[in-house]
Structure 1
Amino acid sequence: MKNKFSIVIAGGGSTYTPEIILMLLDNLDRFPLRTIKLYDNDENRQNKLAKACEILIKEKDPSISFVATTNPQIAYTDVDFCLAHIRVGQLPMRELDEKIPLKYSVVGQETCGPGGIAYGMRSIAGVLENIDYMEKYSPNCWMLNYSNPAAIVAEATRRFRPHSRIINICDMPIGMENNMAKIAGLSSRKDMDVRYYGLNHFGWYTSIKDKSGYELLPKISEHVKQYGYVPSQYEYEHAKRDSWFETNLFTREIIKTDPTTIPSSYLKYYLFQDHVVNNSNIEYTRANEVMDTREKEVFSECKKIAEAGHSNGTTLKIGIHAEFIVDLAIALAYNTHERMLLIVENNGAIANLQDDAMVEIPCIVGKDGYEPLSIGNIPLFQKGLIEQQLAVEKLVVEAWAEHSYQKLWQALTLSKTVPSATIAKKILDDFIEVNKDYWPELR
């Protein structure tokens, strides 16, 4: 009989928490559980989800213990895995991350450019705090961290908690690979073996093979050149034209910068800044969209479940990002040696990039952690872009550690999304004003 595991979801008040729980419950045959805990420092927000999550769990397997707490000792005692997706400052701060840069005609986005830098300055302390709780109360626990902005957070954990049992991940490639599988006519992204390199939200696919070894990249590339990551002509003609549709579609422009690879859709923020700004609405950004749709819908649905005492007819669904988290936990628990994209220290994997870069590359995962695959040398175009963005991320972490205004100004100035040091300083000063409760005091 398989051992049963105990997990804590850090950031239990996230609207993604019910999706993660549904995925966990759907995989109990592969990953049996004895305890699911929710942990958040915002009790009111977590309580909007907790009762519904408890009902979902009891309906599926009453033997699983459920706890929702704001006490770190209760949360982290006797746990095998921490699934961490904290958002320091929540959506109101995300809204400011997006709108302040747009005031200066600069990209306003959650994880890219100035918004990602501001978010990173808030996130570092929260992630490190949770690592410390984990190591104090469950030192053999693994933290699967997908708190954003993942690149900056990963650099901070590399520098300040280098020996911690933490693996930094991102679900964004999963969404892209799901669409690629559809484009290629495969039933699942797991039918593909991919080669990919870059930083988080900043990378390129160089090979996509099916399990027989047939190279699918040329076929997928031709589709992307016409439709982006929109999987079919039918979806192109009939899908809801929301922000994600436009992001997927715009990949057909990004791929023109290097037709030999397939790019991350997030590269539009770095390579086509003018397009992004010209098509942004400073009065209504992605944060507003999430608050008006996803947040209201999930909280409302959880309230219905809590009041009814059952989940019959629920609209809550398993999220694609949750699948990756469960697969990673299973690989660690059962030594499956699954191939997965992780954010890890380079250490020669990309031969012509510095060793202490936190890069996103394929790794083989087993009970002792991960083994990165060798990438070799990368082209000058990608190398130049990566080194510039890498310097931004390292400067942000140094600025946080040293309370340095100068280094944070340098980070913003160096970002490819920002046109000048003058604009960078204006954005920084505005960010300092609204982040007084979250950032270290800069000097």
Structure 2
Amino acid sequence: MKLAVVGGGSTYTPELIDGFARLREELPVTEIALIDPDESRRELVAGVSRRMLAHAGHPARVVATSSVAEGVAGARAVLFQLRVGGQAAREVDETLPLECGCVGQETTGAGGLAKALRTVPVVLELAETVRRHAPDAWIVDFTNPVGIVTRALLDAGHRAIGLCNVAIGVQRRFAARLGVDPARLSLGHVGLNHLTWVRSVHLDGADVLPSILAEHAEELADGLGLRAGLLRRLGVIPSYYLRYFYAHDAVVREQRAKPSRAAEVAAMEARLLKMYADPAVVEKPELLGERGGAFYSEAAVALIASLLGDRGDTQIVNLRNRGTLPFLGDEAVIEAPARITASGAEPLPVPPVEPLFAGLIANVSAYETLALDAALHGGADRVRDALLAHPLIGQDEIAERLTGLLLEAGRAHLPWAVR
């Protein structure tokens, strides 16, 4: 079984390799193609990947290439984990919105729109190469903003499913807290990518979320950067991305007072690449746990194994709404539990969503539709409309100013923005 990773030179990749090595019975991979235009990073990551597999006694071979066509040929699944513009572009995404008093985040708000504008066209071009050279392969998209990118792939007719590590991270942390096997826990997780709420935590069929909140609200709230009273009142656990909405002004003050996350990650990546160059490194470095993407490998292995093995199990993925949330169109992409088979992902019914959450979901979903339109067709007016629709922006003068700033900063990746 061959798998391909587009963006294989990412410092994330050893997290994937570690999962492939540990979960070999679940997903018997024989070849992994790492595809990346950056030769230096590609070779460093390929080298440590080969050593990790050999150290684990895994027989799969690792092929490194800059050719997408060569890398995906014959693959049964292709993972997209690319970052157009690298950490330099992320730095702009996270700092430029602060000039207008808006949250600076790479997937949320103006920064997320900037990333979508430069990412969607590249991903669609890559997906066409997959369609030509591996027409039966599944595309698993981990590229942010996952909801918008997955919608673009599905609208273009690709066999694609979006994947995020937030849900599996919550499940694993709760399982560890309760001292149980994660397989015994299921989450009532619903919303959009990076805009979700856990409304139930079922352990062997019984909802233990009320007791978790009663006993651990302070600790949970502290980890989310929110007030414990909010969690108790809502009776849910919001994704940590909801802090950008529920505590917007506090976040802006914090972001203005410290270095960006992009700067932190760039420094971390430099350290990781030095480690990957060390021939003595044969296991995933502990530092990688601080990079983000925890449990990504488990989520990816589980999804691919179910798609290729027709397992029919339940996983939380990004997929078409298809009536699951009646206040959204069928074509919208949501993040929710789904049954995974060889035919793809089929959303499972969810309890009616409370108006407090449904309103924000509908608002952000409308923004995502406009953001995708701007990414596909360009134009300052489309960008401005998307910004005006976003609940974290929504003011004419700010949207106008941000449009000019984003297009000026993104010219290298937006040919249509060059005047």
TM-score if structure 1 supplies the norm length?
0.88
Paired residues of 1:103 and 1:282 also in contact (CA < 8 A): no
Residue 176 of structure 2 is aligned to residue 176 of structure 1: no
Inter-partner Cα distance in structure 2 for 1:255 and 1:312: 38
What is the CA-CA distance between 1:431 and the residue it aligns to?
1.3
Q: What amino acid sits opposite 2:164 in the alignment? A: C
Inter-partner Cα distance in structure 2 for 1:102 and 1:282: 11
What is the CA-CA distance between 1:70 and the residue it aligns to?
0.3
Paired residues of 1:352 and 1:377 also in contact (CA < 8 A): no
Inter-partner Cα distance in structure 2 for 1:362 and 1:275: 32
Alignment of 1:347-426 (within 5 A): 347-418=322-393, 420-426=395-401
User: C-alpha root-mean-square deviation of aligned residues, in Å?
Assistant: 2.1
- Cα 1:188–1:15 change in 2 (3 A) is farther
SS of 1:228's equivalent? helix
What is the CA-CA distance between 1:440 and the residue it aligns to?
4.3
Paired residues of 1:52 and 1:302 also in contact (CA < 8 A): yes
Inter-partner Cα distance in structure 1 for 2:305 and 2:180: 21
Residue 75 of structure 1 corresponds to which residue in structure 2? 71
- Cα 1:251–1:124 change in 2 (3 A) is farther
Alignment of 1:421-436 (within 5 A): 421-436=396-411
What is the CA-CA distance between 1:102 and the residue it aligns to?
1.0
Residue 138 of structure 2 is aligned to residue 145 of structure 1: no
Residue 228 of structure 2 is aligned to residue 278 of structure 1: no
Which of 203, 206, 209 lines up with 1:210 in the alignment?
203
- Cα 1:251–1:287 change in 2 (3 A) is farther
Residue 291 of structure 2 is aligned to residue 297 of structure 1: no
- Cα 1:166–1:419 change in 2 (3 A) is closer
Which of 149, 159, 166 lines up with 1:165 in the alignment?
159
Residue 43 of structure 1 corresponds to which residue in structure 2? 39
Inter-partner Cα distance in structure 1 for 2:11 and 2:67: 20
Inter-partner Cα distance in structure 2 for 1:314 and 1:196: 30
What is the CA-CA distance between 1:63 and the residue it aligns to?
3.7
Q: Does 386-395 or 173-182 show the bigger shift?
A: 173-182
Paired residues of 1:353 and 1:383 also in contact (CA < 8 A): no
Q: What amino acid sits opposite 1:311 in the alignment? A: V
- Cα 1:218–1:38 change in 2 (3 A) is same
Residue 87 of structure 1 corresponds to which residue in structure 2? 83
- Cα 1:63–1:397 change in 2 (3 A) is same
What is the CA-CA distance between 1:337 and the residue it aligns to?
1.8
Inter-partner Cα distance in structure 1 for 2:282 and 2:46: 13
- Cα 1:121–1:223 change in 2 (3 A) is farther
Residue 252 of structure 1 corresponds to which residue in structure 2? 228
Inter-partner Cα distance in structure 2 for 1:180 and 1:314: 24
SS of 1:441's equivalent? helix
What is the CA-CA distance between 1:61 and the residue it aligns to?
4.1
Q: Percent identity?
A: 27
* Runs of 5+ unmatched residues, structure 2: none
CA deviations on 1:122-151 (whole Å, 9 max, x unpaired) are 110122122111111111111111100112
SS of 2:363's equivalent? helix
What is the CA-CA distance between 1:401 and the residue it aligns to?
2.1
Inter-partner Cα distance in structure 2 for 1:367 and 1:50: 30
Inter-partner Cα distance in structure 2 for 1:247 and 1:91: 25
CA deviations on 1:189-208 (whole Å, 9 max, x unpaired) are 32212222111111112221
Paired residues of 1:301 and 1:316 also in contact (CA < 8 A): no
* Runs of 5+ unmatched residues, structure 1: 230-245
CA deviations on 1:382-405 (whole Å, 9 max, x unpaired) are 121111111111101111222221
What is the CA-CA distance between 1:311 and the residue it aligns to?
2.1
SS of 1:250's equivalent? coil
- Cα 1:142–1:254 change in 2 (3 A) is farther
- Cα 1:428–1:64 change in 2 (3 A) is same
Inter-partner Cα distance in structure 1 for 2:12 and 2:285: 15
Residue 301 of structure 2 corresponds to which residue in structure 1? 326
Residue 189 of structure 1 corresponds to which residue in structure 2? 182
SS of 1:353's equivalent? coil
- Cα 1:19–1:74 change in 2 (3 A) is same
